[in-house]
Structure 1
Amino acid sequence: MEKETFLKILDKYIKGAASDEEVQFLYAYYQLFELKEDVFNRIDTDAKKELENAIKLDIDKKLGELENTPSYPTLTKVHRTIIYKLGIAAVLAVLIGIGAFWLVGRQKQDITKQKEAHQMPSSPPITPGKDDAILVFADGTSIVLNEVQQGTVSHQQGVQIEKTADGELRYRAASNSEAVENTISTPKGGQYRLVLADGTKVWLNAASSLRFPTSFSAGERVVNLDGEAYFEVMKGDKPFKVISDNQVVEVLGTHFNINTYKEETMFKTTLVEGSVHITKLTDDARKLSHTSKVLRPGQQATLSALGDKIIVEAVDIEEFIAWKDGYFKFEKANIQTIMRQVARWYNVEVEYRGAVSNDLFVGEINRSEDIEEVLRVLRLGKINTFIEGRKVIISN
C-alpha cells in the first residue's frame, strides 16, 4: 500500500466511512509506516491519536479472547499475526491474517504450558543493548567509550580522535599523520558508530570488533572485521577492503552490511547501493581467484566457513540492515535464528529444552524494548519461554 492510499483511507476512517477491510489495513500499516516511514509527519495529532486509541481497544479485545481460549486452533492454513510496537505506547496486537509478524505452519498445542511460563518467579528485567564499546590503541592501552565525555578522546601520530555529542567516534587525520592500528570492540549487548579517517561511516553491531588504521596513507584502505558491521564507504581512488576470516570484500564507495558471526556458520554480505567484489580467502589469507563474485544493489552473497562456493541471490535488504535502524526484522526465520540475535543484543544465554520448533516467523520488533516484551510476542505465538537469571529457556 502506498502512502497516499493509506492517507485516503485514514481520511475515510476519521469520517466514519471506511469499510471493515479498510480499517484492518489501517491497523496493520500503521505500525509498518511508523517503524520506518515519514508518513505520520503528514497526519495531524488528533487523527493519529484517534487511530492509535482505536487500535489499542481492538488489541485489548483480541488479547482477552486469546487468553480465555481453552486451546489454540491449528494454524496450518491460518496466519496468526503479531504486531509489535504500535505508537509511543509500544503496545502488542494480535490480528488475524494481516500485519507484520506472522507465525507460519504452527500445530495445535495446549495453552497450559504457556500459562505456567507466565507463572515462573519474576527475574530482574533484562534490558536491551546500548552504545558500549572498548577502544584499544596501538600501544595496547584501552578506554571504555561509554564512560568518555564528549570532546577529544586522544591524539595519535597526528590523528585526533573525538567523541561527538551523539556518541559517535570520529577520526580526523592531518596530512602528515602516521598510521597506527586501533581496534574497537563491542560486547554482547553493545553497539557503536564511528567515522574513519577517510570519512567512511561504520555501524558496529553487538559482539563485534573492527581493526583499522588511524589514517589511510598507502595505496589502499584496509580494515578487519569480526562479527557484524554496516559500512557507508566514502568514495575515493583507493580501494576499500574489509577482510574477515575467509573472505575479502572490495569496494570504492558504497553501502553494504557484512555478517561474519561464527555461530551463524555462513558469512553474508548484503549490498544496499553501489557494487562490491567478494573473494574467498584461504587459511593463509591468499585469494582464491576462481571463487569471486560481484554484487549489485539488493543482492546478498553467502559464503560457508568450510566451502569455496559463493552463492548470490536477491534479498529484502531491510531484513539484514534493520539492526542498524533499531529493530529486528525476520523473513521466515526459525526460532534459533531469532534467538541468536536476541542473545547477542540482550547479552543472555539461550537454552532449548525438548524438541526445537520448526516454525518460521516473519516480522519486526523494536530493539529498544525489554526482553520480556520480545518473549511475550513469542509466547503469543505459542512458543513457551521463561527466564532464569540471564538465561532464556525455550521449552517444548
Structure 2
Amino acid sequence: MQQELIKKYFEGTATEEERTEVELWYASVQLPLQQGQDQQAVRSRIYAKTKQVIDAEPIVRKFPWLNWRLLSAAAAVLLIAGVVFLIFNSQQKTERNALLGNALMGHDIAPGGNQAVLTLADGRQISLDTAAEGKLMASTGLQVSKKNGIIVYSPTNANASPGRYNTLSTPKGAQYELVLPDGSHVWLNALSSIRYPEVFSMNQRNVEVKGEAYFEVAHQQTKDRKLRIPFVVKAGTEQIEVLGTHFNVHYYQGDPMRLTTLLEGAVKVSSRGKSVSLSPGQAAGIENGKQEIQKLSDVNTELAVAWKEGEFQFEDASVPEIMNQVARWYDVEVVYQGEIPQEHFSGRVSRTENLSQVIEILKRGGIRFKINERKITVY
C-alpha cells in the first residue's frame, strides 16, 4: 500500500478506484471489533498483520542508503493510526461499517417478498401486493380471488370462454403463488411470468412461462373419463408435456443453462424437433447459446426447488451463477471489475435473510465486493 495513496484517502482527494483499493486492503487485515475494545490492542493486532504483508513483499533497493522496508512500515503505521482514530471516534455502527464494511456495504438490503402484477384479458392490471383480500374480478363463469396472499381462479359454470388469457408477472425481488382454473398450483420465482387462459379447454391445458416456475399439476380427465387431459408448458423453444406431476422450469435467458427438473410423475420435453422423456430425479437442459437438448440423470432436485422452499442452495456453483440469483431476489445490479472470479461454492442460506448473509458465503471464499446503493461490484 503506497504512502501517497493512503495520504490521498485520508485527505479525501482519492478517486473512487483508489478509495476502493484502500478499503479492500483494510478489510483484508481488520479483525472483528467489539464495543469498548481496547484501542491499543486493536492497533497492535493491525500492526502485526501489516508487518506480515510488508515482510512478504520484495524489497526494491534503487538507493542503498535508504531503508525501504522501514519507510513502508512507517507508511503502514500512518494508516493504522488514522484507521484506529476513525474507528474509535465513530458514534454509530453504520458509520464504522462505511469504512470497514460488511462485505464493504454502506447499508444492508432486505430480501424479496410476495409481490406481482395480474394483467387481465381486457388489459387491466392489478398490483397484488396492495390489493385487498377477497374477490378481484368476476365475469361470466369465472371468479378470481386473492386468498391468504394466493391468486385463485374458480370457474363457476361451463359458459366461460377459454380464449381469454391472463398473465401473472413478478418483478425482481418478488415471488407469488397461483392456483390455475384446473386446480394446479404454480409458484413463480423473481423476474418471471406465466400466461394462461381464464378457463382451460376440454381437451388440453396450455400455459407459457418465462423465468422460473414450480408446478404441481392437478389430475384432470375428459368428460367420458377415458383420457387424462394433458398439461403443456411452453418455455421459449421448449415444450413440456405433462399428464400430472411436480416439476420445475428454469428458463432465465442470462443463465448458463435452461432446465426442466422432474420431482414426481413423468414429462416429455421437446425442442426443435427433438424430445426426451424424464423420470423423477432427471432433468432436461439446454446450454445457453446451444440448441441440443440434454438428458441429465441423478440430479439434486433439492437444488432446483430450493427457491420455492425459501432457500438459496448452491452446489459447486460459480460466482456468476450465484450472483444471478442474488440480483433477481434482492433487486440489485451486479458488475464485475477485472476478471470474473473462477472459484466455485457450495452452501445454503435462507432467502429471508438480508443480502449481507448471502454475500458472507462468498466472502469466506476470498471474493471481494463493494456495494453502492443497489449496485454490487465484484472484484
Instruction: Output the TM-score relative to the length of structure 2.
Output: 0.70
Deviations 1:133-190 (A, max 9, x none): 000000111010011111111113321111112x011100123222210000000001
Instruction: Tell me if the contact between 2:179 and 2:186 (Cα under 8 Å) persists in the aligned partners.
Output: yes
2:122 corresponding residue in structure 1: 139
User: Secondary structure, in 3 states, of the residue corresponding to 2:329?
Assistant: helix
Deviations 1:285-307 (A, max 9, x none): xxx1xx10000100111023543
Kindly state the Cα deviation for residue 386 of structure 1 after the two structures are TM-superposed.
1.9
Amino acid corresponding to residue 186 of structure 2 in structure 1: V
Could you tell me which residue of structure 1 aligns to residue 284 of structure 2? 301
* Percent identical residues: 39
Residues 329, 184 of structure 1: alpha-carbon distance in 2 compared, 3 angstrom cutoff: same
Asked if 1:248 corresponds to 2:211, the answer is: no
The match for 1:385 is 369
For the Cα contact (< 8 Å) 1:117–1:386, is it kept in 2? no
Within a 5 Å distance, the mapping from 1:29-40 to structure 2 comes to none
| 1:117 Cα offset (Å) | 6.2
Is residue 165 of structure 2 the alignment partner of residue 181 of structure 1? yes
SS in 2 for 1:199: coil
Amino acid at match of 2:241: E
Q: Match for residue 254 of structure 2?
A: 263
Q: Could you tell me which amino acid in structure 2 is paired with residue 170 of structure 1?
A: V
Aligned partners of 1:339, 1:306: CA distance in 2, in Å? Answer: 20
Q: Which residue of 2 aligns with 1:219?
A: 203
Q: Does the 8 Å CA contact 1:117/1:385 hold for their aligned counterparts?
A: no
Task: Please name the residue that 1:48 is paired with.
Answer: none
Match of 2:134?
151
Structure 1, 131-140 or 259-268: larger mean CA deviation? 259-268
Counterpart AA for 1:295: L
Residue 260 of structure 1, CA deviation: 0.6
Equivalent-residue separation in structure 2 for 1:190 and 1:239 (angstroms): 30
> Deviation of residue 377 (structure 1)?
2.6
Q: Which residue of 1 aligns with 2:145?
A: 162
Please tell me the root mean square deviation across aligned C-alpha atoms, in Å. 2.6
Q: Which amino acid aligns with 2:110?
A: T
Distance (whole Å) between structure 1 residues aligned to residue 288 and residue 104 of structure 2? 41
- Are the structure 2 counterparts of residues 329 and 217 from structure 1 closer, same or farther at C-alpha, using a change threshold of 3 Å? same
Structure 1 CA distance, aligned partners of 2:100 and 2:240?
45
**Counterpart for residue 368 of structure 1:** 352
Moved more, 181-190 or 305-314: 305-314
What TM-score comes out, normalization by structure 1 length?
Answer: 0.67
Q: Distance in 2 between matches of 1:234 and 1:199?
A: 6
CA distance in 2, matches of 1:187, 1:361: 27
2:184 counterpart (200, 211, 230):
200
> Aligned in 2, Cα 1:382/1:120: closer, same or farther, shift over 3 Å?
closer
The alpha carbon displacement at 1:70 in A equals 4.2
Q: Where does structure 1 lack aligned partners over 5 or more consecutive residues?
A: 1-58, 61-66, 72-114, 282-287
d(CA) in 2 for partners of 1:221, 1:131: 26
Between the aligned partners of 2:103 and 2:173, the Cα distance in structure 1 is: 24
Structure 2 unaligned spans of 5+ = 1-31, 34-44, 51-97, 221-227
What is the alpha-carbon distance in structure 2 between the residues aligned to residue 265 and residue 364 of structure 1? 21
Separation in 2, partners of 1:122, 1:383: 14
Q: Aligned to 2:323, what secondary structure does the other structure show?
A: helix
Question: 1:181 corresponds to which letter in structure 2?
Answer: Y
| Counterparts in 2 of 1:388 and 1:199: CA distance versus 1, 3 Å | same
The answer as to 2:304 corresponding to 1:320 is: yes
Greater CA radius of gyration, 1 or 2?
Answer: 2
The whole-number CA distance in structure 2 between the counterparts of 1:119 and 1:159 is 51
SS in 2 for 1:171: strand
Q: How far apart, CA to CA, are the structure 2 residues paired with 1:218 and 1:304?
A: 35
Give the number of aligned pairs. Answer: 282
Please show how residues 324-339 of structure 1 align to structure 2 within 5 Å: 324-339=308-323
Q: Within 2, Cα distance between the matches of 1:200 and 1:359? A: 40
Match runs of 1:96-111 below 5 Å: none
Is the Cα–Cα contact under 8 Å of residues 331 and 362 in structure 1 kept in the other structure?
yes
